[in-house]
């Protein structure tokens, strides 16, 4: 009997944290009735519907449209690795071969991205799929794909700037844009050094983190989304946003990427400057006057229509997962960061944010915001919200045990 079925037999119908409204916290008494295993089971009950979807290289699940249909993407989309990653996470928890079989099929579609040098999103696409798969299976082919992907990502490095280029689009607007999201792709490079012994991957990742630390952050530890550099001189040309409210605002998912990225960078390097920055980013988030009571941020901390602005459950999930890891490093803030992660997960695990169990699609969380300035993916389920939510659940249950699958 696999773990998922065993838990369902033990507990019968899954007990979920009750919550009558999106902005309300569940009661302490109710929280005590719910175990970590029950929360994971509730999530996997929703994801399990993905086992019935026929894998299609052009329709990798990314989000749910407002009409209820699934938005599918090709492997080149930056989100393509998250749905396979979710299946791998489910396999790691349940040991159910159905999840492994489905994960292998979806993951195979992404392999060609190992040669795609037109994007910085190699970590999101390949590490969340092949990386999770390798962590659980030790498949040597997966390892080879990860190494080749890291080699391809390295071609986007400019030593004069000390950063990996993020986007190739909007060349009329930016010469060498670097976005805060790019911090998450560094984990693939650190992994490649462990696999190969070649320190060049590590050195590039470390320098990119140092450059981003120098130029992306304001004095209050909020982050710009996009910093554009002169590729010849290495000097900063502009600081702006692309998905936030304004150039000077604090886009919620950008803050989440920064928190997660520098927590991971400290783990991989031991550079205490990264730990200090991660701690300060965390304090900025928790102390912000516009952080809602349930700890699930509005899509931008400075959105003009707060409290009526859309929430971003994806940012909350990334923040929670990062806090679980950061709490193991931060002696000064261990309790605060761990408590904050628990509070965020209590909210996300409530009826206010969980997709109804009766939904036909394989998504777990609702109320995420993808790109509000482009009126795209607003208040919908999105695959990367589910990925970091599952990761956070596993970190909550097991404690932080290392990168990737946390098993």
Cα-Cα-Cα-Cα dihedral sign, residues 286, 292, 295, 299: negative
- Strand-pairing partners, residue 376, are 371
Q: Cα 402 to chain center, whole Å?
A: 16
Query: What backbone torsions phi and psi does residue 348 show, to the nearest 5 degrees?
Result: -65, -25
Determine which one of 181, 302, 312, 342 is catalytic.
181
Do the Cβ atoms of 85 and 92 come closer than 8 Å?
A: no
Of the candidates 292, 398, 401, the one whose C-alpha atom is nearest the C-alpha of residue 353 is 292
Residues 397-400: contacts with CB under 8 Å, at least 24 apart: 397/36, 397/37, 397/40, 399/324, 399/328, 400/324, 400/325, 400/327, 400/328
First to last CA, the chain: 19
Residue 300 exposed, middle or buried by CB count within 10 Å (0-12, 13-18, 19+): buried
**What angle, rounded to 10 degrees, do the helices at 252-269 and 186-196 form?**
20
Residues 107-111: contacts with CB under 8 Å, at least 24 apart: 107/133, 107/142, 109/55, 109/57, 109/60, 109/75, 109/80, 110/60, 110/75, 110/80, 110/81, 110/84, 111/145
The Cα–Cα gap between 25 and 32 comes to: 13
The Cα–Cα gap between 373 and 136 comes to: 38
Query: What backbone torsions phi and psi does residue 353 show, to the nearest 5 degrees?
Result: -120, -25
Catalytic, 351? Answer: no
Determine which one of 121, 228, 294, 312 is catalytic.
121
Cis peptide before 15 (omega within 30 of 0): no
Catalytic, 220? Answer: no
Q: Looking at the annotation, which residues are catalytic? A: 121, 181
């Amino acid at each position: 009997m696999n773990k998922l079925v065993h838990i369902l037999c033990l507990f019968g119908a899954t007990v979920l944290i009750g919550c009558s409204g999106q902005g309300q916290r569940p009661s302490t008494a109710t929280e005590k009735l719910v175990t970590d295993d029950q929360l994971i089971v509730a999530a996997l009950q929703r994801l399990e519907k993905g086992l019935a979807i026929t894998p299609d290289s052009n329709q990798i699940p990314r989000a749910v449209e407002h009409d209820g249909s699934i938005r599918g993407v090709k492997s080149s989309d930056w989100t393509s690795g998250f749905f396979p990653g979710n299946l791998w996470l489910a396999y790691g928890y349940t040991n159910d071969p159905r999840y492994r079989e489905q994960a292998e099929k979806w993951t195979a579609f992404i392999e060609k991205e190992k040669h795609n040098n037109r994007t910085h999103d190699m970590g999101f696409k390949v590490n969340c799929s092949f990386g999770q798969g390798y962590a659980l299976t030790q498949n040597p082919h997966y390892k080879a794909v990860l190494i080749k992907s890291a080699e391809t990502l390295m071609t986007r490095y400019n030593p004069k700037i000390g950063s990996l280029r993020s986007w190739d689009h909007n060349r009329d607007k930016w010469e060498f844009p670097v976005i805060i999201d790019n911090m998450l792709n560094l984990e693939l490079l650190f992994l490649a050094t462990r696999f190969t012994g070649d320190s060049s991957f590590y050195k590039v990742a470390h320098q990119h983190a140092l450059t981003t630390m120098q130029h992306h952050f304001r004095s209050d530890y909020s982050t710009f989304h996009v910093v554009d550099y002169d590729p010849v001189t290495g000097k900063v040309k502009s600081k702006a946003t692309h998905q936030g409210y304004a150039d000077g605002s604090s886009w919620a998912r950008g803050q989440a990427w920064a928190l997660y990225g520098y927590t991971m960078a400290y783990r991989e390097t031991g550079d205490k400057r990264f730990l200090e920055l991660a701690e300060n980013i965390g304090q900025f988030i928790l102390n912000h006057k516009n952080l809602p009571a349930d700890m699930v941020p509005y899509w931008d901390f400075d959105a003009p229509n707060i409290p009526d602005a859309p929430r971003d459950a994806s940012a909350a999930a990334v923040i929670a997962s990062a806090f679980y890891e950061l709490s193991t490093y931060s002696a000064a803030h261990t309790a605060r960061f761990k408590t904050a992660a628990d509070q965020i997960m209590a909210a996300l695990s409530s009826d206010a944010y969980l997709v109804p169990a009766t939904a036909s699609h394989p998504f777990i969380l609702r109320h995420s915001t993808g790109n509000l300035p482009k009126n795209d993916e607003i208040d919908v389920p999105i695959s990367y919200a589910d990925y970091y939510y599952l990761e956070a659940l596993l970190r909550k249950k097991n404690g932080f045990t290392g990168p990737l699958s946390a098993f």
